[in-house]
Structure 1
Amino acid sequence: MKLKELPLSWWTARKLTRLTKDDLRNANAPRLPLIISLTSIPSRLGIIHLTIRSLLIQSYAAEKIILWLHESLRDQLPRSLSDLEGDEFEIRYVNLTCSHRKLIHSLELHPEKIIVTCDDDLMYDSTWLQRLYQSHSRYPKDIIAHECRLITFIAPGKPAAYREWKTELCTDISAPWLMPIGYGGVLYPPHCLYGDVQNRDLFLRLTPKADDLWFKAMSYLGGTNTRRSADPGKKPIPIIASQKDSLKKTNVRQDGNYQQWLALCEHYEF
């Protein structure tokens, strides 16, 4: 987290923490026909309640928010998280250890639903979900993301280094190699991903630490467009002390994303 982000992060966290259960119930918010799905890790159990609180007070609410955790965490939840469970928010436990669980289990549980994924170390502004859904309403068959990068290649089947995949600045734009970036939020319409999406042997071998790359490959193979939303808004606010454990070091700084995308290219002959 950058030093300049600290005051806003502290103030937003304080505001969210002060919300009562009645505030979080958000009974007057219109309901959208979708599920918000995310996952987390042990080091963030003490702070993820801030993410969940920000999702519960959206201007347009989800039918359900599901947090997928590893089975080993069943008896380790802090009250700040467990007290939020109710009709709008539930926690489910699985044995899968990788970040792909933020989506694949919800796809199995709700195959006919729109699924929206997000990250567990951020606080989302109250119009975040509404803005995603507005673009979905115009392009109901597209995957919608607030943040994207454009995958580039130096030769057929040979991707450029991840740092050369430029952040897409244009809005309301679609391209074959536009990749949704998970932290901004991604909306997946039903049946938009290739049949291999649930193949655990494959994604654990090809993209063990890069669920964004796996889901991009599955959408490309499934013939589904990715579109940056028409109104991405401001970036979500990082939570203080949320980056003690992160995939950024291996995937970005050590170019693990390149190695995993190359593995996908070779396997599927992109």
Structure 2
Amino acid sequence: MKVKELPVSIYYSLKLRYGTNGAGQKRSKTVIPVLISLTTIESRLGVVDLVIRSLLSQSVSPVKILLWIPDSLEKELPPRLTELCGDIFEIRTTHLHCSHKKLIHTLSAFPEYPVITCDDDLMYRPQWLSLLYEESQRFPGAIIANQTRTIKMDREGNFLPYGQWPTDQPAAVGSDWVLPIGAEGVLYPPASLDKRFDKEDLFLNLAPKADDLWFKTMSLLKGTKCRLASNRSKKAVPVMGSQKTSLKHVNIKKDLNSVQWLKLSDHFNLKDKLKSD
């Protein structure tokens, strides 16, 4: 977290924790037909309630907010998190420990709904959900993301390293080359991913630490275009102290994203798929 982000993080944390108690137990807002799905890790159990409170404090309400946790954490949940459970917010368990669980189980359980994924270390602004949903209504069938990279190749047709893929490049139309990044929120319409999206043997072998790359591959195989939202809300607010353990930092520092993308590309022949765009 940057020093300049500390004051707003502290402000949002206090406002959410002491102003939304019990907010998940009943509905009092307009409900839109989407689900929000996320996961968390043991080191964030003490602060993930702030993320949930920010989702419950949106200007509109989703049908459900689902937090997926490994079975091993079920008995370690703090009261400040479990007290939020109710009509809207649910905590569900899974045998998986990888980040892919934030989407695959919800897609399987609720195939008729659009699913929005988000991260467990950010507090989302009150208009975040409504704006993302409005954008999906403008471009039905497309995967909509508030943060993206653009896949790039060199002149010889080889993928450039992940770190050289530019961020947040707006495009007039959806594209196969746009990679949705999960942090600021991604909306997946129903049936927007290839039917192999939940094949554990595949994603644990090819992209065990890169759910964004796995889901991008599944959208390519299905032929679903991705696009950067044009009506993004202000950036989400980092939860103070939550970034000590971060998959993103590990992947970038060791360039694991490039390694995993090449494995996905080789296995699914993604170069040919992208060239046809």
TM-score w.r.t. structure 2 length? 0.94
Aligned residue identity for 2:230: A
Match of residue 229 from structure 1: 229
Match of residue 212 from structure 1: 212
Q: Is the 8 A contact 1:115 1:187 kept in 2?
A: yes
**Could you tell me how far 1:173 is from its partner in structure 2?**
4.7
146-155 vs 65-74, which deviates more? Answer: 146-155
Q: How does 1:1-270 map to 2 (within 5 A)?
A: 1-21=1-21, 27-154=27-154, 158-170=158-170, 173-270=173-270
> What is the SS of the residue equivalent to 1:154?
coil
How far apart, in 1, do the equivalents of 2:153 and 2:169 lie? 19
> What is the SS of the residue equivalent to 1:37?
strand
**Could you tell me how far 1:249 is from its partner in structure 2?**
2.5
Count of residue pairs brought into register by the alignment: 270
Which blocks of at least 5 consecutive residues in structure 2 are unaligned?
271-277
How far apart, in 1, do the equivalents of 2:185 and 2:178 lie? 15
> What is the SS of the residue equivalent to 1:8?
helix
- Percent pairwise identity: 47
How far apart, in 2, do the equivalents of 1:201 and 1:101 lie? 14
Which blocks of at least 5 consecutive residues in structure 1 are unaligned?
none
**Could you tell me how far 1:29 is from its partner in structure 2?**
1.8
- Cα shift readout 1:216-270 (whole Å, capped 9, x = no counterpart): 0100110001011121122111000001211123211211100000101111111
**Against the structure 1 CA distance between its residues 54 and 42, is the aligned structure 2 distance closer, same or farther, given a 3 Å change threshold?**
same
> What is the SS of the residue equivalent to 2:58?
coil
**Could you tell me how far 1:22 is from its partner in structure 2?**
5.9
Greater fraction strand: 1
- Cα shift readout 1:127-155 (whole Å, capped 9, x = no counterpart): 00101111111111000111111011125
Q: Is the 8 A contact 1:171 1:230 kept in 2?
A: no
Runs of 4+ in 1 over 6 A off after TM superposition: none
After superposition, the CA RMSD in angstroms is 1.5
> What is the SS of the residue equivalent to 1:55?
helix
Q: Is the 8 A contact 1:173 1:229 kept in 2?
A: no
TM-score w.r.t. structure 1 length? 0.96
